[in-house]
Structure 1
Amino acid sequence: MGHKETDFEGRGLSRRDFLKATAATVAAGGVADFAFNAEQALAYEGVAGYTVTISTCPYCSAQCGQRVVVEDATGEVVDIYGDYQSPTNSGGLCAKGAGAFQLVTNPRRVGAYEFPMTYQNQTLAAHPEHAEFASDGTGDPVIYKRVEGVSDWTAIDMATGLSEIATAMVAARGSFTAGEASGYNSQSVAFFGCSHMNTDENYLYRRMIAQFGTTNTEHQARI
């Protein structure tokens, strides 16, 4: 069945032209922030005091090219953008790839920064979410845990944290004896994934879930 070509508000714009213009506008707006930006891509090229390293985005199998800019004097990452010479993405990055810079700069990273700190020309007196998440200055990796019913978080060392997690998971799964109908209760545990887990982490995570024996999995993109 065909559609009747009608004018919109008497302006001589047909339905077909309206849909074409709308689709073009949406498409242009959708890629505006992630397309190749020549000014950004060349900002640090050949500039003294900065080293540009070619890398790849870790978030999916596309492996889009990235360029990572490090300030020589401080060793800090100052920018991450698409590699304009990459045949995969020609300098463009999706939302996750474009946000990779915050993996090493976001003040919300748990245990990564001491406060007060300066971020985007602003002074942050404490961690934006919980003061407990500030770095203790030792540089040792830690895990933060919170007991049910208690609002405060407690920092524990990585080895202790992993041991507690493993012990609780084994206890929750239960045991199995050959010949008995009851046994593993793996459905009492659920696993939750996030968009910023990279390809290798997702592979290992999925293997662990399968080995544990549960189908209770969810992802933040579906919540």
Structure 2
Amino acid sequence: MKLSRRDFLKISGAATAGLALSGCTTMGFQKKPVEEQAWKIRTQNAQETPSICCYCAVGCGIICHTDRQTGKVIYTEGDADHPINQGSLCAKGASAYQLAINDKRVTKVLYRAPYSDKWEEKSWDWALKEIAARVKASRDKSFTVKNAMGQVVNRCEGIASVGSAALDNEECWVYQAMLRALGLVYIEHQARI
């Protein structure tokens, strides 16, 4: 069968019109109102809290919807009133909901001893004490009081830090102050990388 361009357009137009008139949801004619209605029902009694996306240094606005009774996250969306993203989000920001609601998220401390092939569950108290002990041991081992010219430098070159863009300005200031108090020289922030 030979089909001219004109015949192809006629057939395509007729098929499109037929699908549209038949009420098929694949064309999007009835899908959008149903989705809007479902979204309104899901977030009807939710509390809206404006927040900032935690993934990069752009600082996009996110609205987090939480259930008023349980406080659990129901839904997240881009903040249309935010001057930076005006409601749009990248793929990572759009998936921010999964940070709070994810059945695969690790919520316990898992530790694998050197040369071991098994993970062990440990308490948070054990983990914090272990981290503090290791930071102190590394700092004591690599701390320099004076340089080669005899000048007092009080620096630690055995530890480096790459911060997180998930921290706000105040948290970054506290984190930076702690690192400087330890004498760290190599301090970077993820937002600049």
TM-score range, shorter chain: 0.5 to 0.7
Given the two structures, how large is their TM-score scaled by the length of structure 1?
0.50
**Separation in 2, partners of 1:152, 1:107:** 21
Residue 84 (structure 1) aligns with? 80
In the TM superposition, residue 94 of structure 1 has moved relative to its aligned partner by 4.0
Alignment of 1:118-137 (within 5 A): none
Change (3 A) 1:217 1:144: farther
Residue 159 (structure 1) aligns with? 125
- 1:57 and 2:57 matched: no
Residue 145 (structure 1) aligns with? 111
**Separation in 2, partners of 1:48, 1:80:** 10
In the TM superposition, residue 54 of structure 1 has moved relative to its aligned partner by 3.1
Structure 1 residue identity aligned to 2:116: V
Given the two structures, how large is their TM-score scaled by the length of structure 2?
0.56
Deviation track 1:156-208 (CA, whole Å, cap 9, x = no partner) reads: 2222211121122112211779889799783223334455x332544433333
Structure 2 residue identity aligned to 1:168: R
Q: Which has the higher contact order (CA 8 A, sep 6+)?
A: 2
Residue 108 of structure 1: which of 88, 104, 107 is its match? 104
Deviation track 1:54-76 (CA, whole Å, cap 9, x = no partner) reads: 31215377654322233568654
**Separation in 1, partners of 2:144, 2:82:** 55
Change (3 A) 1:177 1:54: closer
C-alpha contact 1:58 1:198 (8 A) present in aligned 2: no
Residue 98 (structure 1) aligns with? 94
Residue 177 (structure 2) aligns with? 207
Residue 135 (structure 2) aligns with? 169
**Separation in 2, partners of 1:81, 1:50:** 16
- Secondary structure (helix, strand or coil) at the match of 1:186 reads strand
Count of residues paired in the alignment: 155
In the TM superposition, residue 53 of structure 1 has moved relative to its aligned partner by 0.7
Deviation track 1:127-172 (CA, whole Å, cap 9, x = no partner) reads: xxxxxxxxxxxxxxx4322222223222222222111211221122
Structure 1 residue identity aligned to 2:113: V
Structure 2 residue identity aligned to 1:145: Y
Q: Which moved more, 1:162-171 or 1:82-91?
A: 82-91
Change (3 A) 1:191 1:155: farther
**Separation in 1, partners of 2:192, 2:113:** 27
Change (3 A) 1:82 1:179: closer
Structure 2 residue identity aligned to 1:109: R
Unaligned runs of 5+ in 1: 1-38, 112-141
Unaligned runs of 5+ in 2: 1-33
By percentage of residues, which structure has more helix? 2
Change (3 A) 1:48 1:222: closer
In the TM superposition, residue 102 of structure 1 has moved relative to its aligned partner by 1.6
Give identity over the alignment, percent: 30
**Separation in 1, partners of 2:86, 2:106:** 33
